[in-house]
């Protein structure tokens, strides 16, 4: 389907052609395209507001106690499931925090052992130096 601007543009391009038989051929093809596009267009039926209201109108539903009880039961099950998920997530969080605390304690113990070893090594070096001095005297 060609719109009005496209049709006008094609006509102006065809007008610029110098060869008359070619020009006639293109105009004929353009005419065929326009005719086909008009045939393809659908006829729009008039819109009736009553039909629209009928489609949008929701039938009255009578809410019965059984439906409400079923909905309450479903909501309670969802709440229970969410509580279980929350508990398992809290447990997992505590587990990860415990592992982190143990890891930090291991680092502190390692640092303490390293510093103790360094202190002993420096004390041994000092004692060795003193005994060397004493031996030389």
Question: Would 39 be classed as within a structural domain?
Answer: yes
Structure tokens at 83: 């509580």
Question: Would 128 be classed as within a structural domain?
Answer: no
- Mean pLDDT by runs of 10 across the 137 residues of the chain is 74 82 84 72 71 71 82 93 89 86 84 77 72 66
Question: Would 119 be classed as within a structural domain?
Answer: no
3-state secondary structure of 41: coil
- Which pLDDT does position 81 carry in this prediction? 92
Question: Would 53 be classed as within a structural domain?
Answer: no
- Which pLDDT does position 61 carry in this prediction? 64
Question: Would 7 be classed as within a structural domain?
Answer: yes
Question: Would 36 be classed as within a structural domain?
Answer: yes
Q: How many residues does the chain have?
A: 137
Question: Would 16 be classed as within a structural domain?
Answer: yes
Number of structural domains (the chain) is: 1
Q: Are 1 and 38 in contact (CB under 8 A)?
A: no
Question: Would 129 be classed as within a structural domain?
Answer: no
Placement of tokens 């202190």 in the chain: 119
Cα 135 to the chain's mean position, in Å?
Answer: 79
Segments forming the whole domain that contains residue 14: 1-43
d(CA 14, CA 28): 11
- Which pLDDT does position 63 carry in this prediction? 73
Q: Are 37 and 5 in contact (CB under 8 A)?
A: no
């Amino acid at each position: 389907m060609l719109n009005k601007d496209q049709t006008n543009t094609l006509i102006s391009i065809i007008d610029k052609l110098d060869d008359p038989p070619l020009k006639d051929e293109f105009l004929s093809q353009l005419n065929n395209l326009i005719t086909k596009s008009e045939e393809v267009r659908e006829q729009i039926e008039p819109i009736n507001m009553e039909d629209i209201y009928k489609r949008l109108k929701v039938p009255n539903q009578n809410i019965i106690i059984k439906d409400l009880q079923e909905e309450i039961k479903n909501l309670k099950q969802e709440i229970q499931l969410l509580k279980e998920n929350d508990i398992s997530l809290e447990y997992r969080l505590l587990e990860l925090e415990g592992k982190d605390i143990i890891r930090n304690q291991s680092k502190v113990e390692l640092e303490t052992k390293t510093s103790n070893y360094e202190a002993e090594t420096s004390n041994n070096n000092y004692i060795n130096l003193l005994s060397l001095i004493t031996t030389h005297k």
